A and B are shown apart, each in its own frame.
Chain A
Amino acid sequence: MSSIYLDHAATTPMVEEALIAMTAQLAWLGNPSSLHTHGRATRKTLEDAREVIANEVGALPSEVIFTASGTEANNTALKGLYWQGRDNGRHVVVISAIEHHAIIDPAHWLQEHEGAEVIQIPVNTDGVINLEFLKELVEKRGSEIAVISVMHSNNETGVIQPIRTVVEIAGDIPVHTDAVQSFKKTALSFADLGVYAMSLSAHKIGGPLGIGALILRRRVEIPALLHGGGQEREIRSGTLNAPAIVGFATAAKSKYYDAKLVSALRDSFIAGLKNAIPDALINGIESERLPGIVNVTFPGTQSDTLLLLMDGRKVSCSTGSACSAGVHEASHVLLAMGHSEISAQSSLRFSFGATSTYAECDAVVSVLPDVITRGRAANFS
């Protein structure tokens, strides 16, 4: 077997029809903001795409704001909702302890530069946020909270968060959810969840890189990050990337991802893994999870060593956690779930996609005993 890709939560192959639709659109001339024939043609295609995405995510077309990435959608939502709240005397930003850096970092930026107070909702050992904590917080300080942001599912563990309950607790407080990992992997409806804002990214679902969307409730007006032509509800400026948007929509409506099949594949992988490495610990296994993510702690190892050894056997997986200057840090997600620094640094994330196969899983399971043995031998800390 050649190289094996088990890092689909990082990015996943483009769906073929999306690739075809996008490259075809690249050949079309016309700025969608222009009023002439060329512009109108592009506009038509682009608005068709907007409707497809809105339909797939249970939102209105006018609620879809295209951005250049999920990160931009998160930044626009969190900062915008904070600024809007601050104008009304609300200065508290509530996020979960397991958010992606694209939420944690803007939250801390708001604290350092914009007078925000950031409060983190802790999670339990299964990786689910503590709703009691949130309830108490809202009861005590609800009138000070500008925005609550809790991810729909976690990118490292795949654990799905109880967003609907968060919205119930929040009442009138705007809730944003980063649904980048959830879209097309599990049931997701903007309208049903009742959130104010939701972030999506195309390249996690078989669309192209460089395009995302902020789904923002109608009539919610927030300050912009990018000012200019005002193309997207005056909240996001910049000529719309029609080819990427067409690719995004095509991927969104494709049926290539079958959650049941991927779940079965994942369960078979977990069974094989537990058999090969009996003391391996699957993080968040007791919780409702996305089909494609398996986060494993291998006691007595260091994840960067394991990555190197897996890579040497042509297996691409990840630690799932952020790097600082390329140095692996203990995952804040696993730390929040009660891991020690050491055990948080002995974990790998395997993530499966529509193209993953049982043969790949078996091959990975077969190299694990040797990799883990060597990884343990090389762990001097």
Chain B
Amino acid sequence: MKLIAAMSGGVDSAVAAARAVQAGHEVIGVHLALAANPQKYRSGARGCCTIEDSHDARRAADVIGIPFYIWDMAEEFHDGVVEDFLAEYAAGRTPNPCLRCNEKIKFAAVLDRARAMGFDGVVTGHYARTQISDSGKTLHRAVDHSKDQSYVLSVLTVEQIAGAIFPLGDTTKVDIRKEAQARGLAVAQKPDSHDICFVPSGDNAGWLRDRLGSEAGPIVDQDGTKIGEHKGAYTYTIGQRKGLGLTVPTADGSPRFVLKIEPVSNTVVVGAREDLAVSTMRGERPVWCGPAVTEHKERGFVQVRAHGAALPCEYFFDGTVLIANLDEPLLGLATGQAMVIYDGDRVVGSATICETE
């Protein structure tokens, strides 16, 4: 096949590209320039599109022996990922930008462009697997569960999965580093990136404050009684306990947790731990990674964080929203997070959580 390998400058995408070449594909490396004003150097585990990273990607492509290009996707990334991230926080929800990037950039803008240019698909260094079954190509967890990235890929449609190649899904990260070393790739020991790439300081709250302002507002209990003040509601997350700065203690001295963020009234609602419990979640804008979910109730698992646990549940689609009823209640769940349904290791689909109870 003719493939575009998305190369971030990290070890995973470099090995993925090398494996695609070894498998006999005709591969062209592409580095996505996502930052409008890229920083010159990488700082620790942060950032993924510095000039240094693009040099690392180019060097890896040269060592592998494939052509290499840089595609400027800064505008698409800003509009589709950064703006969405801000809008979600401003609306009191907790978004996952990596998921949005896969949905709108890597497997949309890049894949569409690649296909139009006559390529068959896009290779990435994501830890996930695909399988061909009777119902077509399906998406599965990586063998290395600790590195599994199927959660952030769960926004891919069947059509997108058809054009996605994940050569690393059958290997552990430790072995990928060893392989990179053996292949002579200088990025073999480059640190993993963890934080949000467009927040190079790693200070999420500060980054949001700079852009959304820091309008103070009340922290209230469930009765609406004001018991404190916050500096920007969106810097809080559901389930947060520390850093609330509350001056009125509870009657029994038990801790309080953030239950709800109300952006319109700029209010943060806190309450007891048990009030965080969620047993049903509903998600809008569902995407099916294989056969569509129906009104027929199925048993499976739901995952609500990138590296969270797979929680046993019953799930179905009522025609509008995807609903999951948990076997055991979950503490602390924010709207805006993705709920991803698994059938064993297979990704069934995902939706954006809009309501919990």
Contact = CB atoms under 8 A, between A and B. Distances in A.
A287 B72 CA distance: 33
A174 to B, nearest CB: 36
Contact of B117 (A327, A328, A377): A377
| A311, A312, A326, A327 — most chain B CB neighbours (10 Å) | A326
Contacts of A378: 112-114, 116-117
A327 B54 CA distance: 10
A327 to B, nearest CB: 4
Contacts of A309: 117-118
B109 A326 contact: no
Contacts, number: 46
Nearest to A381: B75
Interface residues of B, number: 20
Chain A interface secondary structure, helix, strand, loop or mixed? helix
A273 interface: no
A304 interface: yes
B33 A308 contact: no
A304 B70 CA distance: 8
B58 A380 contact: no
Contacts of A328: 72
A325 interface: yes
Interface in A267-311: 304-305, 307-309, 311
A327 B73 CA distance: 9
B33 A374 contact: no
Interface in B14-47: 28, 31, 33, 38
Nearest to A305: B117
B235 to A, nearest CB: 32
B69 A307 contact: yes
A305 B72 contact: no
Interface string B319-357: 000000000000000000000000000000000000000
Contact of B33 (A305, A307, A325): A325
Contacts of B38: 325
A326 B31 contact: yes
Contact of B118 (A304, A327, A374, A380): A374
A307 to B, nearest CB: 7
Contact of B28 (A312, A326, A327, A375): A312
B51 interface: yes
A380 B113 contact: yes
Contacts of B31: 326
A325 B54 contact: yes
A323 B31 CA distance: 14
B117 A308 contact: yes
Interface in A351-381: 374-375, 377-378, 380
A380 B38 CA distance: 23
A304 B33 contact: no
Given A380-B112, A380-B113, A327 B69 contact: no
A380 B109 contact: yes
Interface residues of A, number: 17
Contacts of A326: 31, 33, 54, 58, 70
A350 B254 CA distance: 74
Interface in B103-120: 109, 112-114, 116-118
A325 B117 contact: no
B65 interface: no
A308 B67 contact: yes
Nearest to B37: A325
Interface string B283-326: 00000000000000000000000000000000000000000000
B54 A374 contact: no
B116 A311 contact: no
Given A325-B51, A325-B54, A326-B33, A305 B113 contact: yes
B202 to A, nearest CB: 22
A261 B33 CA distance: 42
A4 to B, nearest CB: 15
Interface string B220-264: 000000000000000000000000000000000000000000000
Interface of B: 28, 31, 33, 38, 51, 54, 58, 67, 69-72, 74, 109, 112-114, 116-118
19 contacts: A304-B70, A304-B71, A308-B28, A311-B67, A312-B28, A325-B51, A325-B70, A326-B31, A326-B33, A326-B58, A326-B70, A327-B33, A327-B74, A374-B116, A374-B117, A375-B117, A377-B117, A378-B113, A378-B114
5 tightest A-B CB contacts, nearest first: A378-B116, A326-B70, A377-B116, A327-B72, A378-B117
Interface of A: 304-305, 307-309, 311-312, 323, 325-328, 374-375, 377-378, 380
